[in-house]
Structure 1
Amino acid sequence: MAEPPYGVIWNRLKRGRVVPFLGAGASLAARPAGACWDPDKPASLPSGAELSRLLAEETSFPFTRPNDVDDLATVSSYYCDMNGRRVLRERLRELLVGDYPCSALHHFLASIDMPLVFVVTNYDTLLEQAFLAAGRPYDLVIHPADRRDYANAVLWWPHGAAEPQFREPNRLEQDIDLARTTVIYKMHGSVCRDSARWDNFVITEDDYIDFLSRMTTHTAVPSLFSADFRDKSFLFLGYSLRDWNLRVVLKNLGREQAMRTEAQGDGPDDDELPRSWAIQRNPSEFERRLWEARGVSIFDVDIDEFIDKLHAAAEGGRA
Structure 2
Amino acid sequence: MNVANLQPREAPVRTDSKLIVEPVTPIIGAELSGVDLREPLDAATAADIQAALHKWRVVFFRDQDITNDQLKAFGRAFGPLTPAHPISEGLEDHPEIWERAVDEYRVRRTENDNVKPGARKPRDYKGWHIDITFVANPNRYSILHGVQIPPYGGDTLFTNLIAAYEGLSPKIQRLIDELQAVHQTTSYDFGGDKARKPRRDGRGTGPFVSLHPLVRIHPETGEKLLFLNPGTTTHIVGLKERESQALLDLLYFEATRPEYQVRFRWAPKSLVVWDNQAVAHAGPIDYQHFDLPRVVRRITVAGELPTGADRFRSQALEGELFNVIG
With a CA cutoff of 8 Å and minimum separation of 6, indicate the structure with the bigger relative contact order. 2
TM-score (norm 2): 0.29
Q: Which has the higher strand share?
A: 2
Q: Please state which structure has a larger fraction of its residues in helix.
A: 1
